[in-house]
């Protein structure tokens, strides 16, 4: 398995968490007046937790498979495709032993 496969799988999972949390917050914003306060607060806190956890994991949860350096900013905010770890220089597109 290539390191890029693992990184992309984690990135996709964390982006789905952020998207579902954001979608739930959007739906709750429009249905606030139709839901009673008890269930609304529960759903709101759940959606906020999912959204925030996804964002935090997106930034610090993606790590290099070899040296465990945090790659969140490198992978998400790079202008181009990241080809190697900035710390240990492992190539992401080569097979790992």
pLDDT of residue 85: 84
What does the domain layout of the chain look like in residue ranges?
3-77
pLDDT for res 18: 95
Overall average pLDDT of the 65-88 stretch: 80
When pLDDT is cut at 50, 70 and 90, the band that residue 90 belongs to is: confident
Note the pLDDT of residue 29.
Answer: 94
What does the DSSP 8-state code read for residue 31? S
The Cα–Cα gap between 32 and 25 comes to 10
pLDDT for position 79 = 62
In this structure, are residues 96 and 2 in contact, taking their beta carbons and an 8 Å threshold?
A: yes
4-60 pLDDT, tens per residue?
888 889 889 999 999 999 999 999 999 999 999 999 999 999 999 999 999 999 889
């Amino acid at each position: 398995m290539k390191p890029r496969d693992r990184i992309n799988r984690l990135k996709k999972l964390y982006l789905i968490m952020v998207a579902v949390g954001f979608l739930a917050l959007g739906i709750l914003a429009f249905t606030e007046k139709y839901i009673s306060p008890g269930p609304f607060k529960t759903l709101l806190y759940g959606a906020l937790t999912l959204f925030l956890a996804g964002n935090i994991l997106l930034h610090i949860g993606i790590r290099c498979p070899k040296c465990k350096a945090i790659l969140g900013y490198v992978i998400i905010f790079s202008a181009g495709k990241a080809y190697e770890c900035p710390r240990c220089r492992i190539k992401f597109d080569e097979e790992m032993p």
